[in-house]
Amino acid sequence: MDAEQANVGPLPRRVGVGRLLVIAVVVLFLGLLAYGLAKKSPDDTIDTRLADGKTAAAPGFSLQLLTPGTPPARAINRAAADGKVGIDELRGTPVVLNFWASWCDPCADESPVLERGWQRWKRRNVLFLGLDMQDLREDARAFLSQVGVTYPSVRDPGKKTSKHYGATGIPETYFITRDGRVVAHVVGAVSTQQLDSGIAAARSGTPVGKEVGGARRPPR
């Protein structure tokens, strides 16, 4: 066997190993890409179940209380003994959960609707709870004072909680039954009609789905 013949034999094997390495690198890259996209994307479980006419479990959280609000937010008083509020601690009370931030203009525009709703419903065992996200504590408290919101709020410094709920911007509002099931979701500034409809659904436990509201802002 001469030198030329000796070089021909192993070539296919070398090429095969090279191809396997390329395939492995490509598969690894695609896997990392898929993982990254999944990690960044909000969870769409709630909206998917609502679209099917079903309720969805409200994702749990335990967040620092930003403001306790005015009475009779009894559920908050019980839950916030340790300075934090968990969604599981609010069982037994229908909850209107509103995601907002001080830098969100539509949040300021919708605040009178929410405050009027709170004044109408607070003595009928419906709790309004604001969830401030991606915000500075001082800015958030100044915002609440400026717009005159008197229902309680909790604070998430980032956007972890909003991703679990599937929120893709702010404001967004979720309506949760007394046993912790989401029955309605409004994307954008909520209207009085949407607010009353969502509260009725939360009190009855009947899912009404996802609705598009007014203006909103993307998360930072």
Per-residue pLDDT for 6 more than 70? Answer: no
> Is residue 119 over pLDDT 50?
yes
pLDDT computed for residue 220 by the predictor: 87
Task: Identify the burial level of 214 via C-beta atoms within 10 angstroms of its C-beta, where 0-12 means exposed, 13-18 middle and 19 or more buried.
Answer: middle
Residue ranges of E strands in 68-143: 84-86, 95-100, 127-133
Please give the model's pTM, rounded to 2 decimal places.
Answer: 0.81
Predicted pLDDT of residue 36: 42
Question: Is the Cβ–Cβ distance between 114 and 129 less than 8 Å?
Answer: no
What is the mean pLDDT of the segment spanning 187-215?
Answer: 97
DSSP 24: H
Per-residue pLDDT at 161 exceeds 60: yes
Q: What is the mean pLDDT of residues 76-90?
A: 84
